[in-house]
Amino acid sequence: MKSAVIVFPAANCDRDAKVALEQMTGQAPAMVWHQDSELPDVDLVVLPGGFSYGDYLRCGAMASQSRVMQAVKAHADKGGMVLGICNGFQVLTESGLLPGALMRNAGLKFVCKPVTLSVEETQNAFARHYEKGQEITVPVAHGEGNYYADEETLNRLEGEGRVVFRYKGNPNGSARDIAGILNDKRNVLGMMPHPERVVDPVTGGTDGRALFHSLIETLS
């Protein structure tokens, strides 16, 4: 599986994504600068977490206008896989690749801790190595992770099986406890928790490994 990680200014989790992908796939991902106009020939594009552009304006809003995002959209339109983690999820909503928006946490405080997630859907390329209903522990680190969408959109996400992860003990006020969603073509996943931080027991757990195994099985 060939992959790329987009490098935005101040998005400080690009190295975490690189290390996880290299550990899981055995090959280093391409690191693509946000002002590049083209992507290399890859199967998966990762938009990492962090604080792109210092979270000015709205989280992910400035990054969504970066030159590389046109190539990311084209990659998704052709059926290529895209994974947006934390700030990457925010970028995906700001760029229109996913519906809804990420708002300030309900408690108006930055939340940084391991959280329990329920795996809601496994019939997709990102979660097929999990069991439906399985509970996993994945860390969060965000101040704007409160997922919002109107009722019609939320009902459509639920009805089409596009809610992949749901919080158990909602840390940020997200509508219907949503932690991760798919686009309508099911090849773009945005999630606020950080699976790349739980692929090695040395860093506190391995519950993120199944996500990368799922992608590797699909794309290899």
Residue 186: per-residue pLDDT? 98
Average pLDDT, the chain: 96
Q: What is the mean pLDDT of residues 36-55?
A: 93
State the pLDDT confidence band at 53, using cuts at 50, 70 and 90. Answer: confident
Q: What is the CATH number for 74?
A: 3.40.50.880
Report whether pLDDT(57) > 80: no
Residue 196: per-residue pLDDT? 98
Residue 174's domain comprises 3-219
Q: Which residues are catalytic?
A: 86, 194, 196
Residue 159: per-residue pLDDT? 98
Number of domains in the chain: 1
Report whether pLDDT(72) > 80: yes
Q: What is the mean pLDDT of residues 45-66?
A: 88
Nearest to 213 by CA among 98, 97, 44: 44
